[in-house]
Each structure stands twice: as C-alpha cells, then as structure tokens.
Amino acid sequence: MIVPNYLMHSDAARHEFDAYRVRRDFPILNQTVHGHPLVYLDNGATSQKPQCVIDAVNDYYCWNNANVHRGVHTLSERATHAYEQAREVVGRFINASHHHEIIFVRGTTEAINLVAQSYARPRLRPGDEILITEMEHHSNIVPWQIVCQQTGARLRVVPINDAGELQLDKYAELLGSRTRLVGVVHLSNSLGTINPVREIIDAAHARGIPVLVDGAQAVPHIPVDVQALGCDFYAFSGHKIYGPTGIGILYGKPDLLEAMEPYQGGGEMIRRVTFEESLYNVVPYKFEAGTPNIAGAIGLGTALEYLAQFGLEAVGEYEDALLARATEAVSDISGLRIIGTAAQKGGILSFVMDGVHPHDIGTILDTEGVAIRAGHHCTMPLMTRYGIPGTARASFAIYNTKEDVDALIRGIEKAREVFDR
Amino acid sequence: MTDLRELYEEVILDHNRNPRNYPKIPLGHNCEAHGFNPLCGDEFRIYLTVEDGIIQDAGFEGAGCAISTASASLMTEALKGMEVGRAEALFAEVHRLLTEEEQAGEPSEMLGKLTVLTGVKEYPMRVKCATLAWHTMHAALHQREKTICTE
C-alpha cells in the first residue's frame, strides 16, 4: 500500500513506538476495575480518547462555541475556522485530493446510508445488483437491503473461506452486467481480515462499477490513501480512531458527490429557498443539513493529528506485534479456536472456547479488569456462516501493551479453570 | 474469585454442562414460545404440556451462555407438576430475586434450588440472561405469537 507522505514523514515514526508513553495521554486508563488495573481491549467497539481530544472539545465549548457558516461575530468566525480546519486535517489524513471531498456525518453508519439513499437509490432499477461480502457489519448490509426494497434491486454476497478471506474468484464471477455498486469492509471488525481492497476496486472499475469501502476498523490501524486505493466512497467513524462519538466521515469522489441528490433537507445545505423551489449549496455542504456536530468535528481533527504524529506504519507494526503475541499464547489454551485466521490481519483476535460461552468469558475477564467484547459484533450473517452464536473478541489499540496481552491470557485461562472445575 | 464462584455456582455449571429437559419437545405439548436476546444471541424455545391447569411436562431447545442455559434447565425442572398460577408466582419470585436490590428477609421458600441464581444480581449485565427462559415460559403460557425479547 502506498503511504501518504504526510503519514510517513512524522519525526516520531522514526523512533521506536512507545506505548507506555502513549498511555499517559489517556486519563481513563489510570483506574482499577474490580480491584485490577483496567485493561481495555474493546477498541473495536470504541477507542478511548487522549487528553488533547478531551481538551479540544472542552475548549471549544468554553471559548469558541457558536454556529458555523452563519454569524458575522468573532465566535462564529472562530467556530467556522476550527470546523473547516478539521475538514482539512481529515482530507490530509486519508489523502483526499481536496477537502471538499470530506463530508461530516454522524458515523460510518450514516455515511453508508447517505450513499445508499443519495447515490444508489435514484440510479437503481429492478433487477440491478448491489454486491457486498459475507463479512460485512450490519451497517454495510441493512442500508443496501432498504434501498433494494425501495427499488427492486437485489443484494448479492461474496462468500469467504474458512480462514475468513474473501473468495476473489467468486467475487469476479459475481461482478456482472447488473452490478451497480460494490460495498466492502477494509478491515473486518469480527475477523480482523484486511481485504485486498485495491484489487477489489480495480476489478470493479474495469467494469465501470463504483466501490464503497467501510473503513471504520481500518483507519486507526493502517495507512489509508483514498487516491492510491481509487475508491469512490470511503466511510469511517470518529470514535474508533480516538475521537468523539457522533462524528464520522464520508469521503466521495467529487464528480460522484456533485451528481448526487442531497441526503437531508434543511438549513446549511441550501443556497436560496423559496416556497416553489430550493437551490442547493455546493459539495460538501449540500450533504450537511442542519447545525453539524461542530465540537465532534474539532475533536476528530485533533484525534487524527494526534495519531498521525506516530506514523500509521509504526502504529500498525506495533499492533501487529501485540496480535502475534496474543495469537501465539492462546494457541496453548485447550479447546480454544480462533475465528479469523486470514493471512492479512489487523489487531483483532476473535475466538470461541469449547464449553464456555463468549458471554461467560466476557464476564470472567471483566472481574479481572479486562474489557473485551462478547457477541455477534453486528455481523450476524458471519456468525451463521461459522455456525456459532458469537465470539469473544480482543481488539488492540496504540495504548495496549504486552502486559495487557498477558492479562488477557491469564483471564482466559481463568475462564477455562472456572468452567473445568 | 469468591464473587465468581457465587455467579458460577456448582449447580449452575452442572446445569450448563448437562441441561435437564434438553433438547426436548414434550409429547403433546400445547404451549410454546421463542425467546431471543439479540444483544448476546441467546436463543431458546420453551415447550410446555399443560393439562387441567397443571404443567405436566416441560422442555427446551436452543443455545445460550451458562447463566441462561442453567436458568432454563432449572426452570423446566421446577415447573413439572406445577399449577399454572403457581408457575406465574414462581416467575415473579425469580424476577424479584434477580432484580430487587434489598431482599426483605429470606428468599421465598418456593424458590428452592433456584436460589443458586442469587449471585447473578451482582452482574447487572447478566440478569437478562437469567430471566430469558422465564419470560419465554410466561409468553408460552399466554400463547403469545411473537418472539420474546429481553432487550
């Protein structure tokens, strides 16, 4: 993958990644849970926030709070400036060609719904097809089901193999004359699989089919360059990348965004309104009806600048090392099976244990201060594919250490012990 | 560890490992309902044979965590031979045991073995696991068509 210059040239990237130093930036980690130091391994669900992000949100409300793009007064100018600067930071972070390709939304879910309704819906005819994969999150399944019901289009699904890798030969077969859009997850939240999105996009583009990439889990862990990928849409959430909740990003290619209908109507997204008709604002404002989550956008911009200082290559390498340590350690635990063993994986370890339900593993780990996720991870069709009700999932972030991995392993061994007694 | 042993009592682990009346669809069953917790994926179908106001037989199918499975197993054991009205009263007692912060006096005698579920109260996120089978049984007695959901 091509790494944006912006991400490669950070000074810190040249040094060894120091998670112990990083931990000091996250006040929430400095606490005990059930008498044990908190070990937070539920980063796939949401990440914790560094002090600088908390401060950015706080400062905005303490000093600069005003509505954006409206007032002539000083606070409004400051708020607008900070909000638009955040857009520029996001654009640089994923190497968009222009920051007007960056739309602020509530999260990945809203970004995908926006594309489904504003791009796909007016273009779909009965019998047309939307192609997604078996490992998608519900947020990259249900918006397409809704638009299929609205238009008579069909949802087709690329299968995976037992390791949790896409069957690319099947993908090639499913790309057909009726395929109108491909939706694919970059890094699977349940399996950790990193999909070959560049290859997937190239194959779709060879047939003139646009591709939406769900990057919710990918952006915190691997360098993403939307121009190098060539994707038409890229969606991600702020809260999984050390930013606030309720803010997310839709990147879109400018010609597609220009041609799309607005998603919601209201203030901000218009140029001129009469009772007869309304003239819409330009991209990206056309898609940002109503007063946006200004504090969230500013917090997200701060989070991305914070993360970028480490270099995403270094971050990815560090988290891969944690995953490798955990993967090796759990292989010694009897009756434990890893779900998701793709050759290309990011920092997610999903597993099941004979005779111990994932929920019970989660409860026992919690009593040891270790927070993981247990359940279907909003990927019910994927759980059905594996014939399991859910998995226990540990997901790593920049502030996790090898001691965290060791606490996880001790907790899993304890679960084994409780249920074997 | 003391805490954990209270949640994962011997009896609960035993009923999880070897659930009673499972998987079983009692002959001539005339009440059934489907219970599902979408959050964790616990899913059970409860079957009851009710004659002359008495639950003659009970069984269940499905899968869930140790708490929900043991609770369902213990429940089917307790229900057999019980009057319908008494089964409803037992459901109320179990609900009280699991959800009321302060227990006034000793747990009701009618709970019997079911008091092993007491430890679940300390784990608020798991109370719904323990009550799933009971809500489903209640729905089966009332012949509700829809899936019962503890979320």
Q: What is the ipTM of this complex?
A: 0.90
Q: How far apart are CA A238 and CA A253, in angstroms?
A: 20
A373 in the same domain as A271: no
Residue that terminates a domain, selected from A308, A333, A363: A308
E strands along A291-345, which residues?
336-338
Tell which residue, B67, B17, B78, has the closest CA to residue B44. B67
CATH number of the domain where residue A23 is located:
3.90.1150.10
Last residue of a domain, one of A275, A308, A341: A308
User: Is residue A39 domain-resident?
Assistant: no
Are A326 and A230 contained in the same domain?
no
Q: How far is CA B14 from CA A210, B3, B40, in A?
A: 54, 18, 22
In this structure, the answer to whether residues A351 and A301 fall within a common structural domain is no
Cβ distance A376 to B66 less than 8 Å, yes or no, reads: no
Q: Is the domain of A98 the same as that of A115?
A: yes
Identify whether A49 is part of a domain.
no
CA distance A361 to chain B (A): 9
Question: pLDDT of chain A along its 421 residues, tens only?
Answer: 444 444 444 444 445 799 999 999 999 999 999 999 999 999 999 999 999 999 999 999 999 999 998 888 999 999 999 999 999 999 999 999 999 999 999 999 999 999 999 999 999 999 999 999 999 999 999 999 999 999 999 999 999 999 999 999 999 999 999 999 999 999 999 999 999 999 999 999 999 999 999 999 999 999 999 999 999 999 999 999 999 999 999 999 999 999 999 999 998 898 999 999 999 999 999 999 999 999 999 999 999 999 999 999 999 999 999 999 999 999 999 999 999 999 999 999 999 999 999 999 999 999 999 999 999 999 999 999 999 999 999 999 999 999 999 999 999 999 999 999 8
Active site residue A378: yes
In chain B, which among 24-43 make CB contacts under 8 A with chain A? 39-43
Contact A178, A150 (CB under 8 A): no
Residues in chain B closer than 8 A to A352 (CB atoms): none
Among candidate residues A285, A308, A331, the one where a domain is terminated = A308
Give the N- to C-terminal CA distance of chain B in Å, as an integer.
Answer: 29
Q: Is residue A37 part of a domain?
A: no
Query: Based on the domain organization, do A195 and A300 belong to the same domain?
Result: yes
Alpha helix stretches (DSSP H) within B1-145: 2-7, 10-17, 66-79, 84-99, 127-141
Interface of B with A in 54-83 (CB under 8 A): 63-67, 69
**pTM for the whole structure:** 0.93
- Which of A357, A389, A418 has its CB closest to that of B4? A418
Q: Are residues A302 and A328 in the same domain?
A: no
Supply the CATH number for residue A160's domain.
Answer: 3.40.640.10
Q: Which domains does chain B have, with CATH numbers?
A: 3-146 (3.90.1010.10)
**Interatomic CA distance for residues A330 and A353, integer angstroms:** 11
Count up the domains in chain A and report the number: 2
Which of B17, B43, B65 lies nearest to residue A359, judging by beta carbons? B65
Same structural domain for residues A276 and A403?
no
* C-beta of residue B80 within 8 angstroms of C-beta of residue B56: yes
Task: Note whether residue A45 is domain-resident.
Answer: no
Distance from CA of A398 to the nearest CA of B (A): 28
Question: Angle A63-A65-A66 (CA atoms, 0-180°, nearest 5)?
Answer: 135
Same domain, A162 and A236: yes
Question: One-letter amino acid identity for A58?
Answer: N
Contact: B41, A389; criterion CB under 8 Å = yes
Crossing angle of helices A402-420/A358-367, nearest 10°?
120
CB pairs under 8 A between A and B: 49
Cα distances (Å, whole numbers) of residue B3 to A148, A364, B65: 50, 10, 18
Is there a domain that residue A19 lies in?
Answer: yes
Exposure on the CB side of residue A199, measured as CA atoms within 13 A: 9
Same domain, A198 and A273: yes
Give the CA distances from residue A340 to residues A352, A375, B114, in Å, rounded to whole numbers and listed in that order.
11, 15, 39
Within-domain flag for A209? yes
CB A384 within 8 Å of CB A160: no
Residue A72 belongs to what domain range? 54-308
Residues A330 and A347 in one domain: yes
Residues A130 and A151 in one domain: yes
Q: Same structural domain for residues A243 and A355?
A: no
Distance CA A230, CA A233 (A): 9
